[in-house]
């Protein structure tokens, strides 16, 4: 035990403030690592890396999820506008009460319906696999 402590103390003193020792250890770790050089021949891997076109179903799913995301951002924007419209001008407050407020609940309903349909569809896909 005493020998190890003496070795570690000598290494710290030789390294100065300890930074050189840490750099030397990092360099040693990098040299020991090896990367696998295996060629994977799988259609899914090719689709992920863009070597093969995605199926129409995946493209449709990406569009659907993007539309849900944009609808979620619209709901967030509408909510922030409605929350702050009382502090804005009379025209902005009237616009919020006359246009944005009546459209808010149906927009949330469409988002909930769309996300529910998507969840049911994805859950059905998992059961078939």
Residues 6+ positions from 75 with CB-CB distance below 8 Å: 104, 107, 108, 111
When pLDDT is averaged across residues 91-100 and rounded to a whole number, the result is 93
Contact 92, 85 (CB under 8 A): yes
Q: Residue 123: which pLDDT band, with cuts at 50, 70 and 90?
A: confident
Residue predicted with more confidence, 4 or 73: 73
Using DSSP's 3-state secondary structure scheme, residue 124 falls into helix
pLDDT at 53: 74
pLDDT, tens digit, 9 for 90 and up, residues 49-59? 766 677 788 88
Least confident of 49-53, 60-64, 81-85: 49-53
Letter string b/e over residues 31-43, b meaning 16 or more CB atoms within 10 A of that residue's CB: eeeeeeeeeeeee
CA 128 to chain centre: 27
- Compute the distance between CA of residue 28 and CA of residue 7 in angstroms, rounded to an integer: 18
pLDDT of the residue at 115: 96
What's the chain's average pLDDT? 80
Calpha distance 129→125 (Å, rounded): 7
Strand, helix or coil at 128?
Answer: helix
Q: In this predicted model, what pLDDT tens digit does every residue of 63-80 receive, in sequence order?
A: 999 999 999 999 999 999
Average pLDDT over residues 39-54: 69
Q: Mean of the pLDDT values across residues 12-31?
A: 61
Mean pLDDT of 43-47: 68
């Amino acid at each position: 035990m005493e020998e190890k402590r003496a070795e570690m103390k000598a290494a710290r003193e030789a390294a100065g403030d300890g930074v050189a020792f840490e750099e030397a250890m990092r360099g040693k770790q990098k040299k020991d690592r090896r990367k696998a050089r295996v060629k994977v021949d799988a259609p899914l891997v090719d689709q992920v890396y863009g070597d093969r076109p995605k199926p129409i179903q995946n493209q449709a799913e990406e569009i659907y999820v993007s539309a849900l995301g944009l609808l979620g951002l619209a709901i967030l924007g509408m909510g922030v506008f409605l929350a702050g419209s009382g502090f804005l001008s009379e025209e902005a407050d009237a616009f919020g009460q006359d246009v944005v407020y009546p459209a808010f609940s149906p927009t949330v309903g469409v988002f909930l319906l769309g996300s529910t349909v998507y969840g049911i569809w994805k859950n059905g896909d998992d059961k078939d696999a």
